[in-house]
Structure 1
Amino acid sequence: MAGVIAAFLLQVVLLSHMMHAAYKDSDGHEQLVGIVFIIQHLFLTFPRIVFALGFLLMLTLLLGGYTCFVCHLCVTNQTTNEWYKARSLSSSSASARTYSRGIMGNLREVFQPYRSCNKKR
């Protein structure tokens, strides 16, 4: 969604030739418009769309950080509670992870959990 909104705003800038626009400053000299002027103009013209783009970018950053944290937990074969408690313990006991099976083993355990074949009904 952020890509579609950014493409729309870029198309508006390119079709209106805003990058080549100029204005006269207080001394009467002609100056090319800068990126700040373009963003201000877009915000005044399309406030909801620019706000939505900012919101989506912020949401992408937050969810991206959370996704990286969850991937770290999967690779180290930890739960969030184990990660939190390991931070409060001494560094020597935190480094000894008894449930770690290596990166590939940890990912295999997450995505293909063990099943007991001898279930009694």
Structure 2
Amino acid sequence: DVLPLLYTYAWMENHVLVGLMCLFANVAMYLAVCFKDPGVVTSNRIASYSFLHEYDNVIYKPVVCSECAFVRPPRTKHCYRCDHCVHRFDHHCVWTNSCIGSGNHVTFLGYLLSLLAMTFNASYLCVRSLRLHVHATQLWDARYVDETGKNHPMCLGALIQHLLLTHPRIVCFCSTLLLLDLLLLGYLLFHFFLVLTNQTTYERYCRSEHSSEKLSSRGFYNLGARRNIVAFWVGCNPPSKVTRSPFKPATRILNDKRT
């Protein structure tokens, strides 16, 4: 319904190119998140992950994983759905049926951005199609009669009611997309906040269960916004692909803050 309306009133414009580009980017990022290593910790990779962080002794402690049978490195959690330990575990994503960790967290943010761009573009097309229809039919210049028989100039409420009667699918689809835009934007901003504070969703959630130790655990890995962004970006590479770890200076800074 949207495209026929758009090409009726703006037939010389290409209304599908941006949408196809967003769709292609979204599918590519989705597949990348699904198949990329989230940062699985195995017995032969423990040494590579162990020196990246320190134990905070609140959320992370040097304990043996009962499933993997080795001491979990700092900022590592066992995912019972995937049955393996994941470094800097954020959450298990039901959309991709995979863990989100240090190996694919950047890619996951790219997936969210591409998904938000796709829904924003769809919302824009819906709103523009209705706007073109209103302008072409001069609905704002029309008048309507209320239940008492009085004649009134067009208002926003009456206009929306008229569009809902004449183009119900477009109005409902547009309303759903706008709500989805807000939800996705809020979720994406939450993850940006986690990046800026060097936290994961799992760590953020666990702090509510350690209310008595909240002050000691809050901001343990926080190095400042700029260093947190660098640590998040570079830390998403598997240890085997990192020639020089950027976390060694970060560990020194953490030690300096505690002395």
TM-score using structure 2 length: 0.42
With a CA cutoff of 8 Å and minimum separation of 6, indicate the structure with the bigger relative contact order.
Answer: 2
- Distance (Å, rounded) in 2 between the aligned partners of 1:27 and 1:41: 18
- In structure 1, which of residues 103, 108, 112 is the aligned counterpart of residue 225 of structure 2? 103
- 1:3 match: secondary structure: helix
The answer to whether the aligner puts 1:45 opposite 2:169 as a matched pair is no
- In structure 2, which of residues 190, 194, 216 is the aligned counterpart of residue 93 of structure 1? 216
Q: Any residues of structure 2 matched to 1:1-121 within 5 Å, and which?
A: 1-25=122-146, 29-90=150-211, 91-95=214-218, 97-113=219-235, 115=239, 116-117=242-243
Identity of aligned residues (%): 32
- The 1:27–1:83 alpha-carbon spacing in structure 2 relative to 1, beyond 3 Å, is closer
- Maintained 8 Å contact 1:87/1:94: no
- 2:243 match: secondary structure: coil
Alignment-mate amino acid for residue 123 of structure 2:
A
Q: CA RMSD in A?
A: 2.0
- Distance (Å, rounded) in 1 between the aligned partners of 2:129 and 2:200: 42
Structure 2: 5+ residue stretches without partners = 1-121, 245-259
- The 1:51–1:26 alpha-carbon spacing in structure 2 relative to 1, beyond 3 Å, is closer
- Maintained 8 Å contact 1:23/1:31: yes
Alignment-mate amino acid for residue 104 of structure 1:
R
How far the C-alpha of 1:85 sits from its partner, in A, is: 1.2
* CA deviations over 1:32-64 (Å, ceiling 9, x no partner): 121111111111111111111011101101101
- 2:144 match: secondary structure: strand
- Maintained 8 Å contact 1:77/1:106: yes
- Distance (Å, rounded) in 1 between the aligned partners of 2:145 and 2:164: 22
- The 1:63–1:86 alpha-carbon spacing in structure 2 relative to 1, beyond 3 Å, is same
- Distance (Å, rounded) in 2 between the aligned partners of 1:67 and 1:25: 44
Alignment-mate amino acid for residue 117 of structure 1:
T
Structure 1 partner of 2:85: none
- 1:98 match: secondary structure: coil
Alignment-mate amino acid for residue 92 of structure 1:
L
Deviates more, 1:53-62 or 1:109-118: 109-118
- 1:31 match: secondary structure: strand
Structure 1: 5+ residue stretches without partners = none
